[in-house]
Amino acid sequence: MFTRHVRTICATFFFAGVCGLHVQAALAQGAPQACLDAQSAMDARAPAQTQLDLLTRCLQSPGLPPEISASVLNNRGQIHYARHDAAAAMADFQQALRLAPKLAQAWYNLAIVHEEGGRRDEALKCYGRAVEAEPKFPAAFYRRCGLFWRMGQAAPAVEDCSQALSLLPGFAEARLMRAKALEALGKHEEALADLNEILSANPKNAVVLGLRGGVLAALDRKEEALADYDAMLALGPADRQTYLSRAVGLARLKEYDRAVADYGRVLAHKPDDVEALLGRGRVFFAMKQYGYAVQDGDLALKADPRNVQAHLDRGDAYFALEQHRNAVRDYSAAIELRPKNAQAYLKRAYAFKKLGENERAVADGATAKRLDPSLDVPNFASFWQSITSVFD
């Protein structure tokens, strides 16, 4: 849960701002014995229950200053979370923040509990409070970057990972996440620069080789892309991520049959792999095999009924099959799940247009433009080209 880039706020929690204090020196300054015992247990990596018991005794020490109590609660919360007791962890982090509202580590830890519990909006708020309290907190920027990425918000993801890298230039995980977000924004050259830097330090990183292959494919550098895929596979037995990475690149190179085969290898091991189903569905769409694209959309939504992209992709396939009412249902489901998705409104506008429901089409087009003023609301022909050229 807690990355190697971030330590607890203070290893010796009972003196705010004083880290690495020896036990005897702490005794001389009057630290409660119960807190010293707890610190010794943590330093010695005692059993978790022993640490919890001693931290609780420390908290019961009379006259313990609020900021010290907050740090103790933060430590205890981390132990609770490591033992998979998210409710107890959350209670400790929240109590710590009531005592010390600017305790950045507690905000960060609380954000992780929210994020891994599926409460993404709350997690974003807590990561924001963490970096507000401690602007030089690379792990918090990185975690928020990853969360933005998983929420489909590539631009703020790039900003946060860039901030993490400005604080910790060697933070390879942040550089990799930024490369993914840059690629999603179509900034392939910038993504390539990040991936090259990672590979300069670790040239045998199969995952990064696969991602670079995909970026090179997007740049129409076919031979280099295929060389990266060969190098990736030469490193050892291919795993899920290896095949997914190669499938994306092969699709961009319009090697559709080979891409379908790679997605099939993933699905042979895990038939409900949503990422593979979505990817294969998009390849089928590009091949104009719209019925198969609908089937993969069905399977993806069976595995993850709230997947916005699956609704959008299946809606496009229904549109291509001229099943415009079904397309409207999928686009509407996407809007319900993500009400500010301008593309979903735009797609539904054209589905309504095909159904002859012109007033609803105009209303959706206006909503799309309001949500994204930069959106060029196209005529029908250019709109259809925009959703069929999925790998251009």
User: What pLDDT was estimated at residue 391?
Assistant: 43
Mean pLDDT of 226-253: 88
Q: Residue 113: which pLDDT band, with cuts at 50, 70 and 90?
A: very high
Parse the chain into domains and list their residue ranges: 1-135, 271-392
Distance CA 301, CA 280 (A): 14
Mean pLDDT of 335-361: 93
Mean pLDDT of 179-192: 95
- Residue 389 pLDDT greater than 70, yes or no: no
Task: Note whether 80 and 92 are within 8 A (CB).
Answer: yes
Most trustworthy range by pLDDT among 37-41, 45-49, 157-161, 201-205: 157-161
- Residue 378 pLDDT greater than 80, yes or no: no
Task: Note whether 211 and 188 are within 8 A (CB).
Answer: no
The token pair that represents 170 in the structure block: 């060697």
Q: Which fold has domain 1-135?
A: 1.25.40
- Residue 6 pLDDT greater than 60, yes or no: no
Cβ-based neighbours of 297, under 8 Å, separated by 6 or more: 277, 281, 310, 311, 313, 314, 317, 330
Q: Residue 216: which pLDDT band, with cuts at 50, 70 and 90?
A: very high
Spell out the long-range contacts of 201-206 with Cβ–Cβ below 8 A and sequence spacing 24 or more.
Answer: 201/172, 202/172, 204/235, 206/232, 206/235, 206/236, 206/241, 206/242
- Residue 110 pLDDT greater than 90, yes or no: yes
Which 8-state DSSP code applies to residue 323? -
Lowest mean per-residue pLDDT among 97-111, 130-144, 239-253, 332-346: 239-253
Cβ-based neighbours of 6, under 8 Å, separated by 6 or more: 105, 108, 137, 138, 139, 140
User: What pLDDT was estimated at residue 251?
Assistant: 92
User: What pLDDT was estimated at residue 377?
Assistant: 64
User: What pLDDT was estimated at residue 285?
Assistant: 98
In 3D space, the residue among 76, 75, 151, 363 whose CA is nearest the CA of residue 127 turns out to be 151
- pLDDT tens for 265-308 read 999 999 999 999 999 999 999 999 999 999 999 999 999 999 99
What's the 3-state SS for 26-40?
HHHCCCCHHHHHHHH
Which 8-state DSSP code applies to residue 320? H
30: left (phi over 0), alpha (psi -120 to 50) or beta: left
The pTM score is: 0.70
Same fold, 1-135 and 271-392: yes
Task: Note whether 75 and 85 are within 8 A (CB).
Answer: no
Task: Note whether 375 and 348 are within 8 A (CB).
Answer: no
User: What pLDDT was estimated at residue 233?
Assistant: 86
Task: Note whether 197 and 172 are within 8 A (CB).
Answer: no
User: What pLDDT was estimated at residue 157?
Assistant: 97
User: What pLDDT was estimated at residue 390?
Assistant: 45
User: What pLDDT was estimated at residue 41?
Assistant: 85
pLDDT-above-70 percentage for the chain: 88
Helix (H) or strand (E) holding 322: none
Give residue for tokens 């990799």: 176
Mean predicted lDDT score pLDDT of the chain: 87
CATH number of 271-392: 1.25.40.10
Mean pLDDT of 329-333: 98
Mean pLDDT of 359-381: 79
- DSSP states of 146-199 as a string? HHHHHTT-HHHHHHHHHHHHHH-TT-HHHHHHHHHHHHHTT-HHHHHHHHHHHH
Q: Residue 4: which pLDDT band, with cuts at 50, 70 and 90?
A: very low
Q: Which residue has the higher pLDDT, 370 or 374?
A: 370
Cα 136 to chain center, whole Å? 21
Mean pLDDT of 79-100: 96
